[in-house]
Amino acid sequence: MNAVMALTAPRWDHMGDSGWSDGMWIWGSVVMILWLALAVVVTWLAVRSVNARAAAPREPSGAEHARDILAERYAKGEIDTEEYGERLARLG
């Protein structure tokens, strides 16, 4: 009797009636697509962040900044060519 009942009784497992029936394959596919989309978005944001840091203008060093100021003063006529050359050589 137990064997007959075991063969005729409905089988229920953790996924429902028979595993992937009743559209469970759709939900599994949707979840996999969402994980894939999340991975793509995270990768895109990481690459974008790295590229933005590489393209950001950097601050000039102390010597570069001093050369820029010296060139600006020379261009304005505050110092002559001789003084510009001397000061530039000292920065060198």
Q: How far apart are alpha carbons 92 and 74 in whole angstroms? A: 17
Mind listing the pLDDT tens digit for each residue in 18-36?
555 667 778 888 999 999 9
| pTM of the model as a whole | 0.44
Give the torsion through C-alpha atoms of 32, 35, 36, 38, to 10 deg: 160
Mind listing the pLDDT tens digit for each residue in 48-76?
999 988 887 777 778 888 899 999 999 99
Residue 5 has pLDDT above 90, yes or no: no
- Looking from the CA of 37 toward its CB, the CA atoms found within 13 Å total 6
